[in-house]
Structures are given as C-alpha cells and as structure tokens.
Structure 1
Amino acid sequence: MSETICVDDLTFLVKRSSRRKTIGLTVERDASLVAHLPTDADIDEARKLIKTRLIWIHQKLSGHKGVGRETIFRQPEFVDGEGFYFLGKHFRLKLVDVNSDGPPTPTIRFEGDRLLFRRDQIKSGLKRIEEYYTRAANPYLNELVDRWKAIVRVNPNKYVQIMDLGFRWGSCSSNANLNFHWRTMQLPPQIIEYVVVHELVHLKYPDHSESFWSDVRRVMPSFAERKEWLSAKGGDL
C-alpha cells in the first residue's frame, strides 16, 4: 500500500529514494502532489515541511488548467449587466467612459446597486477587481481577526495577508501567519466571520480533527449553517 501524507484537504503521495538527502515537494503536471523523501526520513518531518509551504502549494495548484479557481469560482464577463458581489450584496456592472473634461475617473466605484467600471480597463478587468477587493480586505479582515482572536484564544501575527490562494478561502502557517483570498470580500459578513474563525482555530489544530470542529463549535455554535452555505454558494459569487 502506498504511503500518503494528508494535510488539511491535500494528499501527497510519498516516494522514497536512497539517493535523496533532503525532503522535497512537487506539484505534478496533472496537479497530483508528491513528497520525495530519503529512505529513512520521518513522515512527520515531511508533514511539517508541507505546512510551511501551503501558500506555495496552493498557488501552484491554482495555475493548473482545470484545477483550482477555474473550477471553483465563477469567471465574470466585463459587460453591462454582469453581476458582482461585495460583502454579500449584489451589484450590476455598468461600463463608463473616461471623462476627459472633469476629475479623474476611478477604475471602480459603487453607486447604489451599480458597480461602475471604466470601459478602457476591460482587458485587465479581473486584475483591477482583485486589486480593489484586496485593498478593501486588508482593514476589514484585520479588524475581524482582532475581534475573534481573543474568543478563539490564539495569538496570530499582527497583520493578515491578502492574496490569490487558488481554490482556498484562507490558510495559516506554523508561524501563526493568516492568509485570506481576496475573493473573501464577495461573501456575506457572517460567512466571512466563519472563514476567519476557521483559520484562527487552525492555529491550535492544524488538521480537521474532532478537536478542531469541537473548538469551532464552541466559538461559533452556528458554524455548520455557515459552512454549508460557503460550500454550496461561495463559488457562484
């Protein structure tokens, strides 16, 4: 039976070799994950290495065609009437032209139920959305982490990181860094709270063990409903 290492929702096939002196990780072309170990290496050492490299792993996975965000997240079109979500609220896209006679026209702004987007930025539309949501996420998610960390009873690093995490909403590292996908800002506030609590509890329990879910339930008794909503609807926003 093949050796495997499971970390969160990732499964690595273990390949041992007498010629290897160090532990290595690869993301194969088919998006399979492999941990390359010396013959006598301890599985726990490989597991520790994987936990320190989660961001790199998920970024590699997100770059594979048919894997990651392309199959999880809806890819919007930048045409009039397209739907976008911000903090759970639905907005319709309206393309606008640059006003050369007036003040500078921002690439993105919200007015009522409309997301106004500069027509000349369509080719880089998703990148501009990512930049806007990332800027908004920094203060919002840092405030949430500050609010919930005492309840969870953990001490994460002072500032969270916002980035493209492929198909994951959040991640944490063994040195108490918290990372969140910029797309988290599409979610309703109560679902964002669940994502934050989930990652904070991971600072105590790195896997999805019974102890992990028990602590999530202690902190957020309604977590199951939020978890189900995220699984069913999160990728459609």
Structure 2
Amino acid sequence: MNETIRVDDLTFHIKRSERRKTIGLTVERDASLVAHLPKDADIGQVSALIRTKLVWVHQKLATQKDTGRETVFRRPEFVDGEGFYFLGKHYRLKLIDVDPAGPPTPTVRFDGDRLLFRREQVAVGEKRIAEHYTRAAHPYLNDTVNRWKRIVGVSPTKYVQVMDLGFRWASCSSKGTLNFHWRIMQLPPQVIDYVAVHELTHLKVPDHSPAFWAEVARILPTYPQHRRWLRERGGEL
C-alpha cells in the first residue's frame, strides 16, 4: 500500500529513501504532492514541517495549469452586468470611460449597488480587483483577528498576511502567522469571523481532531452554518 499523509485538506504521497537525510516537498506537474523522507522519518515531525510550508504549497498549486482551480473560485468576466461580492453584498459591474486629461479616477470604485471599473483596465481586470481587495483586507482582517484573539485566548503574530493562497481561504503557520486569501473579502462578515476563529483555534489545536471542532464550537456555537455556507456558496464568488 502506498504511504500517504494528510495535512488539512491536502494529501501527500510519501517517498522514503535510505540515502536521504532531510525532508523535502514537491508539487508535481499534475498538481500531486510528494513528501520525500529519510527511511526512518517520524510522521509526526513530517506533518509539523508540512504545516509550516502550507503557504508555499498552495502558492505552487495556484500556478499549476489544469488543476481545477476554476471549479473552486469563479472566474468573472469583465463585462457590464457581471456580478461581484464585497463583504457579502452583491454588486453589478459597470465599465466606465475615463478622460485621460481629467482628474485621477480609481480603477475600482463602489457606488451604490454598482462596482465601477475603468474600461481600459479590463485586460488586467482580475489583477486590479485582487489589488483592491488586498488593500481593503489588511485593516479589516487585522481588526477581525484582534477582536477574536482575546476570545480564543491566543496570541498570533501582530499582523496578518493577505495573498493568493490558491485553493484555501486561510492558513495558520506554526509560528503564529495568519494568512488569508484576498478573496475572503467577498464573504459575509459573519463567515469571515468563522474563518478567523478557525485559524486562531489552530494555534491551540493544530489538527482537525474532535478536540479542535469542540473548541471552535465553544468559541462560535453557530460555526456549522457558516462552515456549510462556505462549502455550498464559496465557489460562486
């Protein structure tokens, strides 16, 4: 039987070698994951090391072609009427023409129930949206984490990081750094709270054991409905 190890929602195929002295991770061309281990490597130590490298793994997965990412996150079209979400509220895209000689105009701007977007930026639309959501995410998520960390009873590092995490909404390193996907700003505030509580709780319980979920339930009794919403609706955003 092939040996595997599962860390969160990722499965790594294990390859052991008598000549190998260190642990290494690779993301193959087909997006499969491999942990290269010394012959007698301890699985517990391997799992802990993998967890410190999860951001790197997800970033590598995000760059792979044909990994099915489009089934995880919807890829919007930058045409009039396309739907976008920000903090759970739905907006319709409106392309606008800007006079080059006129006053400076933001590429992305919310106005009522519309998201105004400069037409000449359509070719790099997703990049501009990611930049806008990332800027908004930093203060919002830091406030969210600061509010919940006292309730959870943990002390993460001072600032959160916002980046493209590939297939994940968020992650937590063993050093206490919280990482969030910029797309999290599309979620309703109460679902963002759940994601933050989930990651903060990992500073107490690193796995997804019954003890972990019991702690999440103690902190946020309504978490099942938010977790279900994320599974059922997250891919539509």
Asked if these proteins are the same fold (TM beyond 0.5), I'd say yes
Q: CA deviation at 1:99?
A: 2.2
2:231 maps to: 231
* Distance change in 2, residues 1:86/1:70 (3 Å): same
Q: CA deviation at 1:36?
A: 0.7
2:157 maps to: 157
Contact kept? 1:78, 1:122, Cα under 8 Å: yes
* Distance change in 2, residues 1:68/1:153 (3 Å): farther
Indicate whether 1:76 and 2:115 are aligned.
Answer: no
Amino acid at match of 1:135: R
2:50 maps to: 50
Amino acid at match of 1:222: T
Q: CA deviation at 1:11?
A: 1.3
What does 1:1-80 align with in structure 2 at a 5 Å threshold? Answer: 1-67=1-67, 69-80=69-80
Q: CA deviation at 1:101?
A: 4.2
Q: Please report the TM-score for the alignment, with normalisation by the length of structure 2.
A: 0.97
Supply the distance in 1 between the matched residues of 2:65 and 2:233 (Cα, whole angstroms): 22
2:179 maps to: 179
Percent identity over paired residues: 69
Amino acid at match of 2:127: K
Number of residue pairs aligned between Structure 1 and Structure 2: 237
Contact kept? 1:5, 1:14, Cα under 8 Å: yes
- 1:130-173 CA distance string (max 9 Å, x none): 00000000000000000000111110000000000001000000
- 1:160-193 CA distance string (max 9 Å, x none): 0000000100000000000000000001111111
* Distance change in 2, residues 1:161/1:204 (3 Å): same
Structure 1 residue runs of 4 or more that deviate by more than 4 Å after TM superposition: none
**Please, which moves more after superposition, 67-76 or 207-216?**
67-76
Q: Please report the TM-score for the alignment, with normalisation by the length of structure 1.
A: 0.97
Q: CA deviation at 1:100?
A: 3.2
1:94 maps to: 94
Supply the distance in 1 between the matched residues of 2:43 and 2:63 (Cα, whole angstroms): 27
RMSD: 1.1
Contact kept? 1:62, 1:68, Cα under 8 Å: no
Unaligned runs of 5+ in 2: none
SS in 1 for 2:194: helix
Amino acid at match of 1:142: N
Supply the distance in 1 between the matched residues of 2:218 and 2:66 (Cα, whole angstroms): 37
SS in 2 for 1:179: strand
Q: CA deviation at 1:17?
A: 0.8
1:107 maps to: 107
Indicate whether 1:215 and 2:215 are aligned.
Answer: yes
SS in 1 for 2:195: helix
Contact kept? 1:14, 1:34, Cα under 8 Å: yes
2:192 maps to: 192
Unaligned runs of 5+ in 1: none
